[in-house]
Chains A and B, each alone.
Chain A
Amino acid sequence: MLHVPRDLAAGLGDVTLRASLTSIGLALALIAVLTAALAAASFVVDVEHVTIIYLIPVLVAATRGGVVPALIAAVIGLGAAVFFFFPPLYDFYVDSPVEVVDLVLFIFVAVVTGKLAADVRQAKMRAQADALRDALIGSVSHELRTPLASIMGAASVLAQSPQIAADERLAPLARVLREETERLDSHIQNMLDATRISSDGIRPQAEWVDPCDIVNAAVAHRQNLLQKHELKVTVAEDLPLVQVDSSLVEKALGQFIENAVKYSPPASAIEITATPSPRAVRLTVSDQGAGISHDELQRIWDRFYRAPRHRDRITGSGLGLWIARALVNACGGRVEASSPGIGHGALLSIYLPVAPHPGPEHVDD
């Protein structure tokens, strides 16, 4: 699924090249037809000032192929006009100043219309690519999640049934099914988020939110994951409200929590805090785990980066922190990581900007 945008881009590249070639061909054919028609007409009327008609192939080339085919069509069309219809006939020599003005005007109009038509075309293509991407994301999400929903639902019913709940060998299996399904679902979510980010598709919907709600939601969604650790949550009272997309920040904080769980031993402490900071609210996740070396600190936010010392021991995609950073940045915030060194735990922070909001006092009763 990660390859979706790349395949999509390659596909669009092919389409673009083919469209350019066909549009040039079409423009050439049109120029030939127009020239023949004008040559026939020239026996009856004076066709010297009809260069404007060669804008038609330019427009066709621009709308179908873009700006380069438009320019090629303009040059060839102009050549045809000068060669066949400008006296002296059948050469590329232009003598009168009026004709020179004509030609300059033609080139100018051709370039401008070509550029405009090409812009329209590109906007249309981008919209198509967006629609295609959304459709892909939607169908991937639906196709993968529907069976997952059946598995998790069935597992939860099994866990609930009196026969299985009473059997201490079977009951944990139903729990395993549920937990592993949740894990798979979060991997799918990560891939979808990664796809959205790399195709520039995050559209944050900012709303006023209490930072404590973000922290609590992030913890509540990962209750199962956090079972084996000693969790401490500290939220300062009277934190300012922030105006962010709460679900994006919750996801980012969730990535930090998942990281802390993954890279720290069972029963060690994980601490989550929300505290005021100058012009910002700071959310942190700290653990007593593997820590981050100085070199790793430079790269942990990179896509697909995984520290070599973890690669064989702990599974991961190298996407989590990259996703977290992109989501937080999209909300106008920033992320930060620090660590006292390998084996001494890590501290990951999110800073959310604080903006003034109108007080509600005047609506109280």
Chain B
Amino acid sequence: MTSPQPAVLVIDDEVQIRRFLRAGFELEHFTVVEADAAESGLRAATLRSPDLIVVDLGLPDRDGSTVVERVRSWSDVPIIVLSVRANEDEKVRLLELGADDYVVKPFGMAELLARARAALRRHSRGNAGEPTVKIGPLMIDLAARTVSVDGTRIQLSPKEYRLLQVLAQHAGNVVTHQHLLKEVWGARHVQDAHYLRIFVRKLRQKIEKDPTQPRILVTELGVGYRLAQGAEQEDSASRGISNSS
């Protein structure tokens, strides 16, 4: 499926946005299919079976979240949502509906491409059963259930491993607090956000060079956590920042 030329379906009613998305994706060797409304978008999603869907939240005929919900009822194709709303609850709702990630307008093409690539990787990894996830110095072997940093194996408690495993399955994309709490502690603990905060802190102490300035397990405030793909580049770029704690 993820052929050398992955196809992306762009659903947005603003022609100018579609225009730069087309150019941006084509520069990166994607094939682009456009739709300007939810209905035509859903039709294109069934007819063309794209490898990736980018959908705007505010469409003229119906809300973009309906597109997410409807597509998810029959397909697990990666979906990235474009949103002008900087409202955290809205983002969480979309992610719970099944969107892989979101970018908030205005955004740069590089940001969208990073999210899109991460979601495509998650999808192909799921299909191919690829067992390892590498983020900067961190290597997670999902088959052997081992974790190493710079080649040295580290010991994690079962819950810490489970937390890292769920994040690794979505490496590069955001995972909501609620999803993590449900997966690691069970549905009864969905409201117990402080468990998560404290476990993330413990996990960072084991996998991050400076746990107070994480480069691998990063926070999306009010939404969730993300294992940052491309942590290596970010790491070298931020070397100029001196740390002490």
Partners in one complex: yes
Which residues of A come within 8 Å of B, CB atoms? 141-142, 145-157, 160-161, 178, 181-182, 185, 189, 205, 207-210, 212-214, 216-217, 231-237, 241, 245-247, 250, 357-358, 360, 363-365
Partner of B213, one of A142, A216, A245: A216
B155 contacts A by Cβ under 8 Å: no
Contacts of A364 in B (CB 8 A): 157, 159
Residues of B within 8 A of A (CB): 14, 16-17, 19-21, 23-24, 27, 58, 82, 84, 86, 88-89, 105-110, 157-159, 177, 185, 189, 192-195, 197-201, 211-214, 218-219, 221-222, 240-245
Establish whether residues B17 and A149, one from each chain, have CB atoms under 8 Å apart when the complex forms. yes
Measured in the bound complex, the distance between the Cα atoms of B221 and A247 in whole Å is 6
When distances are taken between beta carbons in the complex, the residues of chain B under 8 Å from A157 are 20, 23-24, 27, 109
A210 to chain B, nearest CB (A): 5
List B contacts of A214 (CB < 8 A): 221
Contact of B106 among A182, A232, A241, A245 (CB under 8 A): A182
Cβ-defined contact, B193 with A208, below 8 A: yes
Question: B186's closest neighbor in chain A, by CB?
Answer: A363
Q: Is the CB of B159 within 8 A of A247?
A: no
Contact B193 A205, beta carbon cutoff 8 Å: no
| B214 partner, pick from A148, A208, A216, A241, beta carbons under 8 A | A216
Are B24 and A153 neighbours in the complex by a CB distance under 8 Å?
A: yes
Query: Measured between alpha carbons, how far is A358 from B195 in the docked complex, in Å?
Result: 9
**Partner among A141, A153, A205, A209 whose Cβ is within 8 Å of the Cβ of B109:** A153
Report how far A250 CA is from B222 CA in the complex, Å.
Answer: 11
What's the nearest-Cβ distance from chain A to residue B171, in Å?
Answer: 19
Chain A residues with Cβ below 8 Å from B189 are 363
**Judging by beta carbons under 8 Å apart, are A149 and B105 in contact?**
yes
Q: Is the interface of A mostly helix, strand, loop or mixed?
A: helix
- Our pick among A152, A178, A181, A210 for the contact of B200 (Cβ within 8 Å) is A210
- Report if A149-B245 is in contact (Cβ < 8 Å); known contacts: A142-B58, A363-B185: no
Expressed in whole angstroms, the minimum distance between the Cβ of A142 and any Cβ of chain B is 6
**When chains A and B are docked, how far (Å) is the Cα of A157 from the Cα of B89?**
30
Cα distance A365–B184 when bound, in Å? 11
With a cutoff of 8 Å between Cβ atoms, the chain B residues found around residue A357 in the complex are: 194
Contact of B24 with A208 in the complex, beta carbons under 8 Å = no
Task: Specify the chain B residue showing the minimal Cβ separation from A273.
Answer: B245
From residue B12, how far is it (CB to closest CB) to chain A in Å? 10
The chain B residue with its CB closest to the CB of A144 is B84
Inter-subunit contact B194/A360 (CB<8 Å): yes
* Cα(A241)–Cα(B201), bound, Å: 11
A185 touches B222 (CB 8 A): no
Shortest B228–chain A CB gap in Å is: 10
Chain B, Cβ-Cβ closest to A162: B27
14 more contacts with CB within 8 A, not counting A235-B245, A237-B212, are A141-B84, A150-B19, A152-B107, A155-B108, A156-B107, A157-B24, A213-B219, A217-B219, A231-B241, A232-B242, A234-B245, A241-B198, A365-B157, A365-B159
State the CA gap A364–B160 with chains docked (Å): 9
CB closest residue in chain A, given B111: A156
Shortest CB-to-CB span from B19 to chain A, Å, is 8
Given A205-B89, A246-B222, A250-B221, is A185 in contact with B110 using a C-beta cutoff of 8 Å? no
- How far does the alpha carbon of A209 sit from the alpha carbon of B221 in the complex, in Å? 8
On whether the beta carbons of A145 and B105 are closer than 8 Å, the reply is yes
Nearest B residue to A236 via CB reads B245
Q: List 11 A-B contacts (CB under 8 A).
A: A145-B105, A153-B20, A156-B107, A205-B88, A207-B177, A208-B197, A210-B200, A213-B219, A235-B245, A241-B194, A363-B185
Check A178 against B108 for contact (C-beta < 8 Å).
Answer: yes
In Å, the complex CA distance between A189 and B241 comes to: 27
Question: Known: A210-B197, A247-B221, A363-B185. Is A149-B84 also a contact (CB below 8 A)?
Answer: yes
Complex Cα distance, B123 from A101, in Å, reads 82
